[in-house]
Structure 1
Amino acid sequence: MNLFKKTLSLTLALLLALSLTACGGKQEAPAPAEPPAQEAPAQETPAAPIEDPITTRIAALKGPTAMGLVKLMSDDPQSASGPMYDFTLAGAADEVTPSLIKGDLDMACVPANLASVLYNKTEGQIVTLAVNTLGVLYIVENGNAVQSMADLAGKTIVAAGKGSTPEYALRYLLSENGIDPDKDVTIDWKSEHAECVAALASGAATIALLPQPFVTVAQTKIEGLRMALDLTAEWDALDNGSGMITGVVVARKSFVEEHPAAVGAFLQDYAASVDWVNSNNADAAQLISQFGIIEAAPVAQKALPYCNIVCITGEEMTEKLTGYLQVLFDAQPAAVGGKLPGDDFCYNA
């Protein structure tokens, strides 16, 4: 019995000691996990610089070369983050070109051959952005004798524009159709288109070379006057890879290089304006009259379909324009400034 008591006492003492050790002993806290290694921040590619919005200063001549702009001219200026334009309308090219050369203008709508003259004069500081008007020249007749270019042989044609595009275009088309412009036809040169209209109205002439909108104006005054030949169509029929061109949009080379976003925005906006004008003749005619490009809206509306307003850019522009200038150069080098412009004459984004 005593042995049993001693054994029990010893066992209880041992259990108590183990219990005290377990309760009083401190467990070591697990070592804190090391923070994950910080990756070096990725090197961000610098964003392309955003071009600050600017106001593009644009001039155009009153006539077909300005008609395609009227929707753009009438739109309210966009927000400060969008393209802004300042338009000037002039009566003659010599009112525009000095400002363009001096840098007071950024862009201008000018005759196609003048663009080449300016390029040569400024030693390549003028760039052509777009063709904006194809041919606007027509042979009109008070009668029905002329149905083709061949029918002009032996006839007298009153015309204005000697020493400029009307003469070069007429002589070229006559020659290409087998008519010697110096021997087979008589060209009676007048000082201005209004004189040609007067000669038709008085009966002194029955055939004339006239541009739009003078054709439409003449038709309102002379009963029976018709458009006998469209010289743009006659040019296209030659299928020589060029095109008959009246007007282009040019810009200063420095402006194009410094503000490519503004140039791109303008070409996009201008193309949209041209599309609108060609699709909405009645509304466009009201704007054309409002801006004083053609005073009478009914005349503008009737003339618009024959004004060949376009916005041709890129390779097509280059092909048509270089071919046209080549024709002018072959006829009279001075018409394009003495030499053909270089490869940097036409803008290709």
Structure 2
Amino acid sequence: MKKLTCALLAAALTLLAGCSSGGTSSSEASSGAPAESAPSSSQDSEPESSASQEAPAEKIDVNIASLKGPTSMGLVQVMEQSEAGGTANNYHFTMAGTADEIVAQIAKGELDIAAVPCNLASVLYNNTEGKISIAAINTLGVLYVVDTDGSVQSIGDLRGKTVYSTGKNTTPEAALNFVLSQNGIDPASDLTIEYKSEATEVAALMSEGGATVAMLPEPFVTTAMQKNDKLRVALDLTEEWDKVGDGSSLVTGVVIVRNEFLQEHGEAFERFLDEYKASTEWVNSSVEEAAALVEKYGIAPAAVAGKAIPKCSITFIDGADMKTKVSGYLQVLFEQNPKLVGGKLPDDAFYYQR
């Protein structure tokens, strides 16, 4: 993660597979051995159309981008399978350091699919006049309140404290303010929130003893905990949001698709979503192996990734559930600062549902 504006806008990406057969029965194709020939006569020879299989869909080239961080972690199995030629399409991955890089490529039509911060998807939808759609949530909240003295056991315990964070005028500030307000705490008067420009600065303060309470995203939480054995996770902001969010959720990253690509290659996109979902499930269930791939693709060291993955809220949520969580989240951002969602809330056409 770079500067917090980008770190707050951080997010990840995608997957697919195919097979073929030609003129042989399914048992022949699986065994690899030729079938025995029965005595034939010109009267009995009929084509075995029922045994033949459908030809596989043609592979197409797909350009995919994600941000370096938690939103890319769920993609690593697809990346590896794509390298080996085992995906349903030919995927070309780009890992961007900042959201601006992805925005420019989407605007030029150079990307087909991207994993981006949720609010950035809304901004892009408004700025391109509806030329992209959101298809799935790939990362829920990655924000945590941490302390070094064990004094924070609930949101109420933040009253009167100084909390260090990043993301002034961005989504982390909006998320923290929402959770505080919903719990009857005034962010402006009931506590002091000190905003720093980068998450690394906050992590350093916690590690060096210059702060006792902070809000940090993963993987900075894990990195800071490795340097200070007194630091602990006090509150999961996603869980706190779920308690008061009325069906919405704290959403970090989403998968978007360029609508022109979707119209031309709808089936290929569907196969990609299937592969991506399988990848996120594998990353969560095979943490050690996934951490090795996270390091291989330059996202984070394996030692950090192995501890961070369980706290990175990597997921795959689509359909009606995705729409409910995302629309509620964007509504909260809009009420606090319309600029965070591009000036207005997206309409129903924003949400792609299979």
TM band (smaller chain):
0.7 to 0.9
Matches within 5 A, 1:253-292: 253-292=259-298
66, 84, 104: which is aligned to 2:110? Answer: 104
State the match for 1:246 in structure 2: 252
Letter in 2 for 1:202: E
1:65 maps to amino acid: T
Secondary structure, in 3 states, of the residue corresponding to 2:346? coil
Once the 2 structures are TM-superposed, how far is the Cα of residue 150 of structure 1 from its aligned partner?
A: 0.4
How far apart are the structure 1 equivalents of 2:290 and 2:56? 34
Residues 1:318 and 1:195: Cα distance change in structure 2 (over 3 Å) = same
CA distance in structure 2 between the aligned counterparts of 1:273 and 1:201, rounded to whole angstroms: 34
1:233 aligns with 2:244: no
Aligned twin of 2:198:
192
Question: What residue is the counterpart of 2:174 in the other structure?
Answer: 168
**Count of aligned pairs between the two proteins:** 301
Distance 1:204 1:82, change over 3 A: closer
Of the two, which has the highest radius of gyration? 1
Which residue of 2 is the match for residue 178 of structure 1?
184
- Aligned partner of 1:328: which letter? L
- Identify the match of residue 125 of structure 1 among 128, 131, 134: 131
For residues 344 and 245 of structure 2, the distance between their equivalents in structure 1, rounded to whole angstroms, comes to 24
What is the aligned counterpart of 1:339 among 333, 339, 344? 344
What percentage of residue pairs aligned between the two structures are identical? 52
CA 1:112–1:80 in 2, change beyond 3 Å: closer, same or farther?
closer
Q: Take 1:184 and 1:317, find their aligned partners in 2: how far apart are those partners?
A: 34
What is aligned with 2:312?
307
Does the aligned pair in 2 maintain the 1:61–1:110 contact within 8 Å?
yes
| 1:89-145 Cα deviation digits (max 9, x unpaired) | 111111111111111110111000000000000001110011000000000001111
Give the letter aligned to residue 251 of structure 1: V
How far is the alpha carbon of 1:53 from its aligned partner?
Answer: 2.5
SS at match of 1:209: strand
1:201 counterpart = 2:207: yes
Q: Measure, in 2, the Cα distance between the counterparts of 1:253 and 1:314.
A: 17
* Paired letter, 1:169: A
Distance apart, 1:51 and its partner CA: 6.2
Q: Is the 8 A contact 1:328 1:335 kept in 2?
A: yes
1:95 aligns with 2:101: yes
Other structure's SS at 1:75 match: helix
Cα distance in 2 for residues equivalent to 1:262 and 1:248: 19
Amino acid at match of 2:312: C
After TM superposition, list the pairs within 5 Å mapping 1:2-41 onto structure 2. Answer: none
TM-score calculated relative to the size of structure 2: 0.82
Aligned counterparts of 1:239 and 1:193: Cα–Cα separation in 2: 25
Is 1:61 paired with 2:58?
no
Cα deviation for residue 256 of structure 1 reads 0.9
Q: Partner residue of 1:151?
A: 157
Q: Which amino acid aligns with 2:317?
A: I
**Secondary structure at the counterpart of residue 246 of structure 1:** strand
- CA shift, 1:269, in A, is 0.3
Moved runs in structure 1, 4+ residues, more than 3 A?
49-52, 76-82
Aligned AA for 2:349? D
- Tell me how far 1:222 sits from its aligned partner: 1.1
SS in structure 1 of the partner of residue 334 of structure 2:
helix
Q: Which runs of 5+ in 1 are unaligned?
A: 1-48
CA shift, 1:82, in A, is: 3.2
Quickly say closer, same or farther: Cα 1:190–1:60, change in 2 above 3 A: same
Partner of residue 329, structure 1: 334
CA contact (8 A) 2:72 2:115 kept: yes
Amino acid aligned to 2:309: L
Unaligned runs of 5+ in 2: 1-54
Could you tell me how far apart the structure 1 residues matched to 2:86 and 2:296 are?
Answer: 26
Amino acid of the structure 1 residue aligned with 2:332:
V
**Equivalent residues of 2:88, 2:272 under 8 A apart:** no
Normalising by the residue count of structure 1, what TM-score does the alignment of the two structures yield?
A: 0.84
